[in-house]
Amino acid sequence: MGPSGTGVSVRVCASRLAGAQTCVRTGADGRGELALVPGTYSIRAGPAIERRLGESVVVADLSVDRSVVIVVEGRGSIGGTVRDTEGRAVTGADVCAHGATGEEVRCARTGADGGYRVEVRPGIHKVEVQPPPTGTRLIPQWARGRVDSFEADLIDTRASDATGLDIVLRRGVVVSGTVTAARDGAPVKEAQVCTLSFAAALPWECERTDKHGRYAALREPERYWVWVIPPGDRGSRLIPQRYDRALVGFDSDPFALFEDRTLDVALTEGTIVRGRVTRSDGVPLVLASVCVDTPFPTGRICRSTGDDGSYEVATRPETYVVNVIAPADSEAVSGYWRGAQRDWTTAERVPVGSADLRLDIVLPRGVRLSGTVRDPPGAPVEGATVNVNDVFGPRSFASTDIHGRYELVVLRGSYTVDVFAPRVGELRSVVGQRIVVDGEVGYDVVLPDAEP
């Protein structure tokens, strides 16, 4: 039996631990018959490479006449070469195929000629390339030429193998240095040194400092915004800082990184906002994100709640809005303080001075809305935005993952749902669909192709 449940013609052989094997070729219906002495046998089906099928082995006790069903897994491959921008083969790079419709990841390593071949199950995949770990300064990417998975090409191996997937890795430069506390010069471990491309629409990329406060970040030659975020250690008053020694975003300067450079950062101290996050029925929320920022964003900083729902955020004296993002499995509705407001315009302002402040937060309990977004052929769409709107406007939103899935929690009620296509690709958004949420609801969407 093949992966789709249909019969396939393969070679089936049965053998005992000590003895010759007996074989038969199954017919088009997938059936074959062997005359065997009663006993325990290892039965092997395949391989049938020409049919893109793998090999399958089962052990069966044939003490009496019986039928054995063998499921043969589908087999496909993705292959090509990995080279640098000078055309040289990249040896020892890891090439991984991520199944877009499942959790399976299969990898292969490039050879001396830069060639690779990843054995996969027939399906839709996204391919990630990690350069050799030392010495090359090559930048990881998704095929082809993408820095993030949501932009990656969909590699379809359902009907045939994907050959000639050649990948060119770019070479980067390094910014390195040490993060310390300005007060006493102590190294700060587990701080995040984050960069954002000044020109390209790329996400923040972050590296963590080691126990000596040291870090090194490999990046493409470019100008960057740099943001250093201390770890969320309880009791620490260290606050984030942007380049160059700026505490707010609009005071920061771009950092030119066109050759290797050193950037040391000394973090100053501020005020602590602390409290506890619970659901309306009193249940503490674990691993909720408590985010503090000004109404006009200047440097959003988020910290996670602990096992008892408690949190601490160190920040500078200012007037803030506080946003709480509840874990997806908590059944709590995310929003702004106070009362899970929909956005910062309706949020209650929180003045923070030089003295520490306590702010306890309660989020209402809601119900889960989840689903999958696909394109017309059935491939999952990563990076689509799902907005849930009530009569006043957008209430909640989520983005689809690599498998096209999304999940969010909303209050019971009537809504319209907008699903916006990612900026990469040729799909159209689907907006204004009405749904009623009175319990756990699934809502799947197929985004149509863009009109020619």
Nearest to 74 by CA among 102, 54, 104: 54
What is the three-class DSSP state of 435? strand
The per-residue pLDDT for range 393-402, each reduced to its tens digit, is 888 889 999 8
pTM for the model stands at: 0.76
Could you tell me which residues come within 8 angstroms of residue 54 by beta carbon, excluding any fewer than 6 positions away? 46, 47, 72, 73, 74, 75
Longest dimension (CA), the chain: 88
Positions in the chain short of pLDDT 50 = none
Cα three-residue angle 386-391-392, rounded to 5 degrees:
85
- Evaluate the CA torsion angle 290, 294, 295, 296 in order and state its sign: negative
Nearest to 407 by CA among 386, 393, 429: 386
Task: Tell me whether strands 173-181 and 265-267 are parallel, antiparallel or unpaired.
Answer: parallel
Give how far Cα 127 sits from Cα of 112, 116, 133, 136, 147, Å: 20, 12, 18, 20, 11
Neighbours of 218 (CB within 10 A): 18
Q: How far is the C-alpha of 151 from the C-alpha of 165, rounded, in Å?
A: 16
Helix intervals (H) in 278-376: none
Q: How far is the C-alpha of 285 from the C-alpha of 307, rounded, in Å?
A: 8
State the pLDDT at residue 387: 95
Could you tell me which residues come within 8 angstroms of residue 73 by beta carbon, excluding any fewer than 6 positions away? 3, 53, 54, 56, 121
Q: What would the two tokens of residue 289 be?
A: 């994100």
Give the dihedral of Cα atoms 334, 335, 338, 344; nearest 10 deg: 170
Contact present, 92 and 135 (Cβ < 8 Å): no
Could you tell me which residues come within 8 angstroms of residue 121 by beta carbon, excluding any fewer than 6 positions away? 3, 73, 74, 75, 76, 99, 104
Phi, psi (deg, nearest 5) at residue 445? -135, 140
State the pLDDT at residue 200: 67
State the pLDDT at residue 8: 63
The per-residue pLDDT for range 190-220, each reduced to its tens digit, is 999 999 998 766 678 999 999 999 999 999 9
